[in-house]
Amino acid sequence: MKFSQVVYVLSCAASAIASRAVQGLHRRGDHVSPRPQIVYSPETPTTPPPTPKQRNVTCFVESHGDYATDDSEFILDAFHKCNNGGHVVFRESETYIIGTAMDWTFLQSIDIDIQGEILFSNDTTYWQANSFPFIFQNVTSFFKLGGDDVFIYGGGTLNGNGQVWYDAYAANIYTLRPVLVGVDGLTNSIVSDLVLRYSPEYYHFVANASNVVFNNIDIAGGSVSENPAKNTDGWDTYRSNSVTIQNSVINNGDDCVSFKPNSTNILVQSLFCNGSHGISVGSLGQYVGEYDIVEHVFVSNISMHNASDGARIKIWPNTASAVSGDLQGGGGDGRVNNITYTDFFIDNVDYAIEVDQCYGQKNLTLCLEYPSPLTITNVVFNGFQGVTSDHYMPQVANFACSSTTACSNIVSTDFDVLSPNGTNEAYCLNFEQEVLDGVTCVDTLLGFN
């Protein structure tokens, strides 16, 4: 063999060794998941959805494999090695333990292929001291997901180990429970084909995000003790623009989706929600001196079962109020504008529609004395059908505006929802019967939050 040939062979061998160092050692059965094809239906996002770039290198995440030792170092190592153009694989056969709060906001042009299970440790003392705080309603997260051109999929599971948190919160309502997926600053990205189980609190908190799609997410998880899993919202959006949530199944105990302050250009469609508090604008107006905006929201093709609400708008009054010891507020300002809820199937839901500007206040007289200055304009509730629960029977909806000037152009059309005894009454405060199709307005309030 000539010297030049020897040099070439050695060079190829060195390249192969370097490649394996980046990619990790392959095991029998290792594979890379194909990217899911995202279908937008019945609506297409107003902002062109992300089109992730192709990746050119693969990293398999190692684990200790003992279901006890923290694998966070292995995860960060793979993310750094395959950032900027790589494909990170969590093996199908593995359970990865996360016991360290990790900042993932550095991610750029990366596929994260979760085939196995990611299980967060049950060390409540550590997580309360080290999870990442957001600035809204005591929200913290196990990790912060951010960056640009991130594509997460694979069919695997994120498990929040929620039972220990449900029990801890029952003992102390000031327990800081992390959300399962904390988004901070994610752009032009897709999260699809994942299973989320047993979140301590919200399943997703989506903050400071732009042009992000959530597709085909399976959410479930409840308590096996007498202590319920509380505040387990499916998604909360906050200070985010152009977010799409679709084609998902949510079995939870709080809002299926909630649009928190400064959520704009949001599309939610084709969801099956069970056991929830509905799809909610708000709560808004919680903090004095803050101006909250939720506008340009389109919600379509929703199947709502065994819930407190179908479509909901919840606003704090202009006076101090409290839902609970750890959730208080009132006195903020803002606007809700251009919201469409359309094509809802209602099954055993307490209120098919609820517009409430007295959130957190049990004293209706105080709400009327201190009406919220937050305005609600250009809202359409269209194409609702089904049967409510008997909780507020004979009422099927609640339309309560704080004043005659706070609400305008709020209508229901093609509304065909009845209570179990066949009635269609709705409590109406500062609403005109003429704009509310399918309900009969009454002035007796049977229930409010």
Position 26, amino acid: H
pLDDT band at 13 (very low <50, low <70, confident <90, very high): very low
- Is residue 7 pLDDT above 80, yes or no? no
Tell which residue, 255, 244, 318, 304, has the closest CA to residue 281. 255
Give a yes or no: residue 247 inside a domain. Answer: yes
- Is residue 6 pLDDT above 70, yes or no? no
Give a yes or no: residue 178 inside a domain. Answer: yes
| pLDDT on residue 10 | 37
Higher-confidence position of 297 and 444: 297
Q: What is the dihedral of CA 363, 439, 394, 418, to 10 degrees?
A: -130
Average pLDDT over residues 235-258: 98
Neighbours of 77 (CB within 10 A): 14
- Is residue 379 pLDDT above 50, yes or no? yes
Among 55-59, 149-153, 362-366, 434-438, the minimum mean pLDDT is found in: 362-366
Give a yes or no: residue 3 inside a domain. Answer: no
Say if CB 312 and CB 279 are below 8 A apart: yes
Decide: helix, strand or coil at residue 364. helix
Percentage with pLDDT > 90 across the chain = 88
pLDDT digits 0-9 by tens, 16-43: 333 333 455 678 779 999 999 999 999 9
- Is residue 73 pLDDT above 50, yes or no? yes
Average pLDDT value over all residues in the chain: 93
Residues 6+ apart with CB under 8 A from 209: 183, 184, 185, 186, 187, 237, 240, 241, 243
| pLDDT on residue 449 | 45
The total number of structural domains in the chain stands at 1
- Is residue 435 pLDDT above 50, yes or no? yes
| pLDDT on residue 128 | 98
Decide: helix, strand or coil at residue 372. coil
Average pLDDT over residues 254-258: 98
| pLDDT on residue 25 | 61
pLDDT digits 0-9 by tens, 163-177: 999 999 999 999 999
- Is residue 410 pLDDT above 80, yes or no? yes
Give a yes or no: residue 104 inside a domain. Answer: yes
- Is residue 322 pLDDT above 60, yes or no? yes
| pLDDT on residue 81 | 98
- Is residue 15 pLDDT above 60, yes or no? no
Higher-confidence position of 29 and 324: 324
Tell which residue, 165, 166, 206, has the closest CA to residue 189. 206
Q: Are strands 140-141 and 440-442 parallel, antiparallel or unpaired?
A: unpaired
Peptide bond into 283 cis (omega under 30): yes
| pLDDT on residue 135 | 86
Tell which residue, 1, 275, 49, 243, has the closest CA to residue 149. 49
Percentage with pLDDT > 70 across the chain = 94
pLDDT band at 5 (very low <50, low <70, confident <90, very high): very low
Give a yes or no: residue 15 inside a domain. Answer: no
Alpha carbon distance 297, 278 (integer Å): 15
- Is residue 150 pLDDT above 80, yes or no? yes
| pLDDT on residue 402 | 86
Give a yes or no: residue 23 inside a domain. Answer: no
Say if CB 93 and CB 65 are below 8 A apart: no
Q: Are strands 291-305 and 333-349 parallel, antiparallel or unpaired?
A: parallel
Give a yes or no: residue 18 inside a domain. Answer: no
Query: Which are the catalytic amino acids?
Result: 277
- Is residue 213 pLDDT above 50, yes or no? yes
Among 46-50, 90-94, 292-296, 365-369, the minimum mean pLDDT is found in: 365-369
Work out whether the CA dihedral 8, 9, 13, 14 comes out positive or negative: negative
DSSP-based helix, strand, coil % in the chain, nearest 5: 15, 45, 40
| pLDDT on residue 212 | 98
Give a yes or no: residue 16 inside a domain. Answer: no
Domain of residue 62 covers: 40-442
| pLDDT on residue 17 | 33
Say if CB 65 and CB 56 are below 8 A apart: no
Decide: helix, strand or coil at residue 27. coil
Q: What is the CATH number of the domain that holds 292?
A: 2.160.20.10
Task: Give first-to-last CA distance, the chain, whole Å.
Answer: 85
